Amino acid sequence: MSTEKGNLSINSENIFPIIKKWLYSDHDIFYRELVSNGCDAVTKLKKLALIGEFEEVEGEEYRIDVSVNQEEKTITVTDNGIGMTADEVKEYINQIAFSGAEDFLKKYKDKASEDQIIGHFGLGFYSSFMVAHRVTISTLSYKKDAKPVFWSSDEGMEFEMGEGDRTQRGTQITLYLNEDSYEFSNEYRAREVLGKYCSFMPVPIYLKNENAPAPEKKEGEEDKKEEEKPLNNTTPLWNKHPNDCTEEEYKEFYRTVFHDYREPLFYIHLNMDYPFNLKGILYFPKINLEYESLEGVIKLYSNQVFIADNIKEVIPEFLMLLKGVIDCPDLPLNVSRSALQNDGFVKKISDYITKKVADKLSGMFKTERESYEKYWDDIAPFIKYGCIKDQKFKEKIRDYCLFKDLNGKYLSLSEYIKEQGFPVEDKTEDASSKSEDGVERVEGEVVSDDKPEENKEPEKNKIYYVTDEKQQSQYINMFKSEGLNAVILTHNIDQPFIQQIEQDNDKLAFLRIDADISDSLKSEGSEKEIKEDEETLSKLFKKVLGKDKLEVKAQFLKDASVSSVITLSEESRRMSDMMKMYNMSGVGDDMFGGGETLTLNLSNPLVKFLLEHKKGKKVEIICEQLYDLAMLSHRPLSPEAMTKFVARSNEIMEMISK
């Protein structure tokens, strides 16, 4: 073969500077491209053997060898795959952006199963010029009587090609690193990058440090060849059928890939062939919500080749806490394989993942209720966020959202409603009919056709909830003493979540446990007597506290040990929370006057004392203390109020001790 020189045939003007400077943002990606090209070459050869166009050598191991030489500042990547003829080098190397893998698939698509080839773009080889000032190729095709080819290029603009001296089938690419890229010839750096990009490639990858000293041999000891171990796992867990995977394998895979030695809560194995090819494993990790970032890690692969580890386009926003791997050869990527194109295909994958998560959760609720309840506190914020953000997800999962009650029991909404004895509306069509006179009739009952009063608020079933078990402990104790129940909702997402439930069900109303004094907590008392005492106490507290707008109520509560409580209407409290969210808390307080009500228990000895000694010396200090005690059970005191409360408490103790 005569030596040939020339300029590289570039399909677009000045494309090479773009490849070198812009196409790949991470320069270490050349390792991925060269090794994956080697995997392509092996995959092609195996396919030819499958259809009878190549006879495999018995006992031969297909492999990729990466050698680094820090002294010479070189990297060599060698495969024993299909190799190239001189014409193929001209076509696939000299003509940039012509995809050999794509051409190969077209040629053989009817002769074998459609095994995907990694190299979709034909530009991967040229990533080597990001780190090397000179690159050489030594290759020998599998074809009979093929001659070896040697190709070299300085700076990627001009090449020289002629007959080579390679005697083994396959391709060897050597990179002579530029001054800024010497680090990649370091064994540890090479091992790090190969581990990042090539951990699950389908062909065994071996790394050799040519500068490493030979192992010392003791006198009389025979030469022992160390057993080679590939850097990669060629059969990743996600490619196996779920029935063939053990619990320990899933946990070990999680520890290895994500370096998280806490056990994941549970996992979801993805395995889809139609309408697109997708495999993977998603894990719900154990997260400390107080200290850790809520953003998980999803590693994207294409035919076992690592693409990216932050693929927000594919994962629904509310599932960003997940850790996992997704291998999707059909996923549309840009030419450098490092970004997703914005099209409907990505949305379909996102919808599929959402469905699989919903199916997993509903399945656990039905068949593994105990485990589901154990995980609920960890996953609840994200499931509730998903219900708010995704209508389809909400429809699939709303019946499996749990509420923890005051007794630590986990119940679905329907279970809680049933336990509370709320009436359940029967919406079946055959339960009602209309007679000829137009009056609607339900089995055994006549319902009047009179129009309801306009603007009349429908009667709602009240579900009480707790946002802070310590802060609201007094109210909790009052409820428990009366055999009443409430649910625990302590996360920020709970407020919009319950508002959504109220919008979907106009028969339900959520009230915080300190929103009012339930009729069930009151004991009987003379209405006239209560009214008179209420007026007396209202004047007294407004005068002592200097709060003219303070609303004061008096009631006979069943628990005589409770002296006073603060209540805030649910509407006012939600408005106040919204104002705080927008940094308008001061405006909200002024505009809505606080909306708080001080309720005094006429059954309590201290309140009775105030009514009997309206002008006594201790009245002022008792009024102030009762107010602050009530407020402490409602919300934290301001720094100034807390200082006064502590000083007053000390004063009261001194009075008692005398």
User: Any idea of the CA torsion for 545, 550, 556, 559, to the nearest 10 degrees?
Assistant: -70
Strand arrangement of the beta sheet that strand 278-284 belongs to: 266-272, 278-284, 323-327, 297-302, 305-308
C-alpha dist (Å) from residue 365 to 83, 202, 319, 582: 54, 37, 19, 37
Report the amino acid identity of residue 657.
S
Which alpha helices (DSSP H) does 15-64 contain, by range? 15-18, 29-50
Residue 555, both tokens: 């009631």
Residues 416, 419, 421, 426, CA torsion sign: positive
CB burial of residue 232 (10 Å; 0-12, 13-18, 19+): buried
Report the amino acid identity of residue 595.
G
- CA gap 332, 300 in Å, rounded: 12
CATH 3.30.230.80 positions along the chain are 237-376
Looking at the DSSP bridge assignments, the partners of residue 138 are 150, 172
CATH 1.20.120.790 positions along the chain are 527-566+589-657
CATH for the stretch 237-376: 3.30.230.80
Residue of 230, 172, 226 whose CA lies nearest to 199: 230
- CA gap 163, 27 in Å, rounded: 31
pLDDT given at position 138: 96
- CA gap 311, 342 in Å, rounded: 12
Tell me the backbone φ, ψ of residue 119, rounded to 5 degrees: -75, 90
3-state secondary structure of 425: coil
Find out whether 27 and 131 touch, Cβ atoms under 8 Å: yes
Report the amino acid identity of residue 350.
S
pLDDT given at position 303: 87
3-state secondary structure of 635: coil
Tell me the backbone φ, ψ of residue 655, rounded to 5 degrees: -65, -40
Distance of CA 658 to the CA centre of its chain: 61
DSSP state of 13: T
pLDDT given at position 510: 92
3-state secondary structure of 341: coil
Find out whether 7 and 158 touch, Cβ atoms under 8 Å: yes
Find out whether 547 and 628 touch, Cβ atoms under 8 Å: no
pLDDT given at position 120: 41
CB burial of residue 169 (10 Å; 0-12, 13-18, 19+): buried
Fold of 4-209: Heat Shock Protein 90 (3.30.565)
- CA gap 581, 588 in Å, rounded: 11
Strand arrangement of the beta sheet that strand 551-555 belongs to: 551-555, 596-601, 564-568
Residue 432, both tokens: 């009602």
- CA gap 601, 380 in Å, rounded: 38
**pTM score:** 0.73
Find out whether 626 and 564 touch, Cβ atoms under 8 Å: yes
Find out whether 164 and 140 touch, Cβ atoms under 8 Å: yes
pLDDT given at position 15: 46
Find out whether 254 and 260 touch, Cβ atoms under 8 Å: yes
Distance of CA 94 to the CA centre of its chain: 44
Averages of pLDDT over each 10 residues, the chain, 658 residues: 62 47 68 92 92 87 95 96 92 64 55 46 73 93 93 83 93 94 94 93 94 72 70 92 92 90 89 85 77 70 84 78 87 55 72 90 94 91 90 92 95 92 56 43 42 60 90 88 91 90 90 80 75 90 87 86 85 74 52 69 90 83 91 86 92 84
| DSSP class per residue in 412-424 | EHHHHHHHHTPPP
pLDDT given at position 96: 58
pLDDT given at position 439: 42
Residue 512, both tokens: 């915080």
pLDDT given at position 314: 78
Residues counted in the chain: 658
CB burial of residue 422 (10 Å; 0-12, 13-18, 19+): middle
- CA gap 112, 50 in Å, rounded: 7
Tell me the backbone φ, ψ of residue 565, rounded to 5 degrees: -140, 150
Does the domain at 527-566+589-657 match CATH 3.30.2350.10? Answer given as no
At 432-487, the pLDDT tens digits run 444 444 444 444 344 444 455 555 566 788 999 999 898 888 889 888 888 889 99
Find out whether 129 and 135 touch, Cβ atoms under 8 Å: yes
Residue 469, both tokens: 């078990």
At 277-316, the pLDDT tens digits run 889 999 988 876 555 555 678 888 888 888 887 677 778 8
- CA gap 418, 294 in Å, rounded: 35
Tell me the backbone φ, ψ of residue 307, rounded to 5 degrees: -110, -50
Looking at the DSSP bridge assignments, the partners of residue 410 are 404
- CA gap 568, 516 in Å, rounded: 7
With residues binned 3-state (H G I as helix, E B as strand, rest as coil), the percentages for the chain, rounded to 5, are 40, 20, 40
